[in-house]
A = this chain, B = another copy of it.
Amino acid sequence: MNTIGHIFRLTTFGESHGTAIGGVIDGCPSQLKLDFDFIDKELLRRKTAQSSTASQRKESDRIEWLSGMLDGITLGTPIAFMVRNEDANSADYEALKDVYRPSHADFTYEQKYGLRDWRGGGRASARTTLPIVVAGAIAKQILKEKDIQIVAKVTETGDAEQAQKEGDTVGGIVECRIIGVSAGLGEPMFNKFSAELAHAMFSLPAVKGFEIGDGFALARMKGTEANDTFINKSGKITTLTNHSGGIQGGISNGNDIVFRVAFKPIPSISMPQQTVNRAGETCEITVQGRHDVCALPRALVLVEALAAIVTVDMIFLSLQNLKKESLIKPNHHEEI
C-alpha cells in the first residue's frame, strides 16, 4: 500500500535514517527525453524552501537513477531511483526512542507494527516525500506536452518569524491550480478527479483538510449563488464563474481545476512538552534536531507534484473513451 496511481503509478520506499529513500515509477510512456535539470530544480524548490538550518543535509538529494532509461530516454519500463541518506545523525533521536512525540506518528506506527524506526521519524518523516517530487517532475513533463500547467501558492499561513522566536510552529493553506485540462477527465463514481486529488493530498504529512472550488464556503451558499452559469464564449462552451473548481460530477469541465489543502503546524516544537513513554509513564520531552517552523514553502512543490501525478493518471485512464474530436479546448479563467 505504498503505491499511488492506476496506470501511471509511483511506489515509494525508505525511512528517514535508513540506507536510502526512493521510488519506482511504473507506466511512464517510453520515448520521453527526461529533463534532469527540471527534476533537479523541482528538488531544489523543496530544499531551499526549508528553513536555513536545513542546509546541513545538503548532500542528500543527489538522485541515483537505477533503471528505466537509455541515454536519458525512457524505455517504458519501471523508472527506479533513490537518494542516499548520507548525513543521518541518529544520535539526535536516541532520546526519543521510547517516548511518543505529541501529534507525531510514533505511537500509531508502534501500535500498527509493534515496532518503529525511531530515527528521524522513520517512514513518517517528511523526507519520505522526496520521491513524490521526482515522479511529479516527470509527470509535469508529460503534461507540458499537452499544455497543462500546475501552479501552487501559499494563500494563508501563520507568522513564521514570530513562531520561530517562540520555539513554536505554524501551519497554513496551499492553493493549487491545474491549468489547461480538457473537459472529460475523471471517473464518475469512486474515482472522481476530485476524489483522486483529495486522496493524493492526504498522502502528505500534516494535511488535515482539502476543498475544491469554493469548498467549505459552498456549504454556506444558496444554489443561486453556487451554480456556475454556462456561456458561449467565442464559440466555446464555458462558465461565467468557477465555484465548482473545474470539476462537475467528478469530471473536469475545461476550467482550471482549483483546490486548497490545509496543513496543520509542524508538531516538532522546540519547547518542552509533556507526554508519555512506552511504559506509559508521564515524562517531558524537548524535540531536538533540524526542524522547519512551517512546512508550507516546501509543500508547494509536493502539492504540485501529486496534482501532476493524478492528472497524468486521469488522462491515461480515459484513453479508451477519449475521442479527440469531441474534446473542447480547456478554458483558463484569469480571475474567478
Contact = CB atoms under 8 A, between A and B. Distances in A.
Nearest to A203: B190
A171 B75 contact: no
Contact of A14 (B67, B184, B320): B67
A171 B211 CA distance: 15
A49 interface: no
Given A2-B77, A202-B195, A18 B328 contact: no
Nearest to A20: B66
Interface in A198-227: 198-203, 205, 207-216, 218-227
Contacts of A323: 31, 114
B321 A113 contact: yes
A15 B158 contact: no
Contact of A219 (B67, B103, B208, B239): B208
Interface residues of A, number: 156
B263 A1 contact: no
B191 A30 contact: no
Contact of A253 (B19, B64, B107, B230): B107
A302 interface: no
Interface string A121-133: 0111000100000
Given A2-B188, A27-B320, 11 more contacts: A1-B188, A4-B190, A8-B320, A19-B65, A105-B251, A112-B322, A163-B222, A171-B221, A198-B210, A208-B214, A237-B276
